[in-house]
Chains A and B, each alone.
Chain A
Amino acid sequence: MTGDATVSLFGDIVVLDLTSTIRGMHCTKMFGDYGAEVILVEPPGGSLARQVGPFAYGKEDPEASLHFAHHNRNKKSITLNLQTPRGQELLRELARGADLLVEDRPVGALAALGLGYEQLRVINPRLVYCSITGFGQTGPYASYKTSNIVADAMGGLMGITGPADHPPTMTGGQQAEHATAMHAAYASAAALLYRDLHGIGQRIDVAAQECVANVLENALEQYTYTGVVRKRSGSRHGTAWPCTVFPCKDGFIGICCTQVKEVRAAVLLAEDMELADDPVLQSQSERRARADELEPRLVAGYMKHGKKDLFHKGQSLGCPIGMTSDAYDLATDEHLNEVGFFAEFEHPVIGKYKDIAAPVYFTGTPGVMRSSAPLLGQHTAEVLGRLGIDDAGFSHLHADDVI
């Protein structure tokens, strides 16, 4: 499939991808999944993301990193040594024809190479330049290093996650990184829309710390409204009941009820007929206050059944219930498989495999999985060829360690 500009959401967009962390790579992935040409610029030794596991079949080969493969499908890879003047010059040439540049390097790192926003806007005033860092381009922590766990901690999410008798708990699946990437993608898409309308690009400064803080729901307001600092308190929701994770026969389930009819369905699912008619269920604050006493009664019922049976039976009763799915449950889930949530990829080193495709269904312009992740430098000739570099030119670039 090609990125046809009329049927593809971002078929007219060229993204220069100077990222190597999830907060960057997931952002550009969101554009590539919906048709943008994403040109991943790697140093000649390859992106650091190629060094990160897990690896296919446990083989520590930069072309077999599943971490890299997952975050870079639908992208093209070119190598370019940005430490050399010629490499910088070529990147400037590419920026001339690009719509969006996304980078996740330390503050000022690209500007020092002559590739900062101020330098590139001169060449291409329509360029949207999105910088993703831990703490933003300004302020006392601007130069601080970040990582998923650091942003999780500094954004306030860790402090309110996990059981009270354990240390603050990191959210699984690198969520500080993903939350940051999604906000960066939103801001970038909005800037592209503005660019189309007004002809001018801009600089976007995304701070992971702030993106994480923005998903705290009502925890910051609890402090600014009432002065109360929220403590982590396990899985129980602060207001609704039952709204927590329960054990069952073969694992765990998640339930979250807000309406009385849903609460009753959760109780019926536990087959506790006496509790089902108890007036305590009528009041959210009363049933929440008696959670310690009531939860064991539900658990007694849930322990008799497996998570999948509870999920389907609970839903048929009108209970908002989910299985606590693991990777096997996800990969084999009938709903996800039926709606095309997964796609088959074919990669020269990893082979054929199934992975998550574009998650949002655009009925007019659905996401298309065009390719698996690129091999290192797979598209160098194709992309730089557009700049008029011929065979002799490529020989020089190789000899000079530019590509």
Chain B
Amino acid sequence: MMKDALAGFRCTDFSWVFAGPYCGQLLGDLGMEMIKIESRKRIDVVRNYPPFAHEDRRLNSSGYWNTHNRSKYSVNLDMKTEQAREIITRLIAISDVVLENFSARGMKALGFDYDRLREINPRIVYCSMAGFGHRGPYKNYVAYGPMQESQAGIVNLTGWPDGQPSRVGTSYPDAAGGVSAAFSIVAALRHARRTGKGQWIDLGQTLTAVALTDTAVIEYTVNGEVQQRNGDLHRFFAPHNVYPCSGEDQWCAISVENDADFAVLANAIEQPDMAHDARFATNAARIQHRKELDDIISAWTEQYDHYEAMRRLQAAGIAAGAVLSTGDFVEDEHIKARGFMESFDHPVAGEKLYPGVPFKMSETPGYIHRPAPSLGADTQHVLKSILGMSDQEIKQLDEAGVLV
């Protein structure tokens, strides 16, 4: 039996869409017991988001939902009913964590704001993930990841100087907020264990994304400079770009940060004289002659496919990486050797591969504990085994329309 870093901790999870569920995925994969509260009357929209395992897009066949909700239980409860709120109260009393990513009004509307939560359980660690947090002038503004990345300043730094700024190819602030929440929750659990005190973690997803804008703010406040997007170039180093390779839309990223590495690169691309060429001998000169430099490197990379260019350069000791498509990534020999993609057999979606845990822990290896649950699949289990309800009680709740 593998040991779990977060064994023995329980989370009542109201989260949905991407940010909260990604947090829960990280917690669940390290062994926290995740109890996700759902309802047929309020289906997580991502259960209806592609990709689907079946063309008819049937319920429980979304790969998007199934990846972020593995290692969790799903309980159906109609939160509009008094009985459901009683069940939630009992669950919170025996939970360590409550997680949600509603708007700042959401939990209050359900009757479970922080004042109520700590009344039920003073040691509870409550993590809210509203778009702008629960304080300040924008606290009631609606915010989803794909526009948070604009507001947060990441979009403006992404893309090409000759065109529009570009969204990231993923709803990045959701993922960043999710991992930030997981870190925060675990830190607060440690604190609760040491001091006996729970607390409310008021995480604003837009804020956690702004915190990832690197030196943008400090460069403005100190130097008055407003950073601009610069495609794939690095302001302070050259070469730094993606270079075309022989196949269609194949590219190899290369970055060199000092003169010694540049001499190595020059040899690797069979242009040893470049290291002594006044146009390229120093980093400052290379920045000035970027275009000529990139043309020379491209002439070399174009002879090889993206993997071959990477292998040749890495063999010489240069930071180079093939721009992997999603297909390349899943089939990549290194990813396979690391066992990063894990498979599970899902009752509706069948056996599929999913990204696993992006780090390895020697004592408590994280792993996908169970397939993503079908909607409400664990209602009986949670009510019976965790809350100790009798079959009779559960039957009455079911007949009263609470377990939908």
Contacts and interface: CB of A to CB of B under 8 A. Distances in A.
Contacts of A255: 147
A153 B242 contact: yes
B169 interface: yes
Contact of A12 (B6, B181, B194, B225): B194
A138 B363 CA distance: 17
Given A191-B364, A324-B155, A327-B219, A334 B146 contact: no
Chain B facing A: main interface SS: mixed
A33 B299 CA distance: 46
B158 A203 contact: no
A329 B153 contact: yes
A185 B160 CA distance: 32
A217 B49 CA distance: 11
Interface stretch (B50-58, B75-83, B87-95, B394-402): B50-58
Contact of A207 (B229, B236, B358, B363): B358
Nearest to B45: A258
A356 interface: yes
A35 to B, nearest CB: 10
In this complex, the member of A54, A117, A146, A225 whose beta carbon has the largest number of chain B beta carbons within 10 angstroms is: A225
A136 interface: yes
A221 interface: yes
Contact of A222 (B18, B51, B334): B51
B253 A210 contact: no
B319 interface: yes
Contact of A335 (B132, B181, B222): B132
Contacts of B8: 197
A356 B211 contact: yes
Given A149-B240, A163-B166, A364 B63 contact: no
A320 B220 contact: no
Interface in B270-321: 314, 317-321
Contacts of B318: 145
Contacts of A206: 358-359
Interface residues of A, number: 159
Contact of B184 (A140, A209, A360): A360
A359 interface: yes
A193 B172 contact: no
Nearest to A307: B150
A210 B358 contact: yes
Given A70-B215, A170-B231, A191 B164 contact: no
Contacts of B181: 360
A229 B329 CA distance: 10
B210 A336 contact: yes
A262 B147 contact: no
Given A70-B218, A223-B326, A245-B167, A217 B18 contact: yes
B236 A225 contact: no
A245 B221 contact: no
A4 B380 CA distance: 45
A159 B324 contact: yes
A158 interface: yes
B160 A163 contact: yes
Interface string A298-338: 00000000000001000100111111111111110011101
Given A56-B223, A254-B149, A365-B188, 9 more contacts: A9-B187, A167-B242, A168-B242, A172-B159, A189-B183, A218-B51, A245-B150, A336-B136, A341-B210
22 contacts: A54-B223, A66-B215, A149-B240, A157-B169, A169-B160, A170-B158, A171-B168, A179-B175, A184-B359, A196-B190, A197-B8, A205-B361, A217-B170, A219-B169, A221-B66, A225-B53, A225-B349, A326-B216, A330-B152, A339-B133, A350-B222, A356-B217
Interface of B: 5-6, 8, 18, 26, 30, 45, 49-53, 63-64, 66-67, 132-133, 135-138, 141-160, 163-172, 174-176, 179-184, 186-191, 193-195, 197-204, 206-208, 210-223, 225-227, 229, 231-232, 234-236, 240-242, 244, 249, 251-253, 255, 257, 314, 317-330, 333-335, 337-338, 340-341, 349, 352-355, 358-364
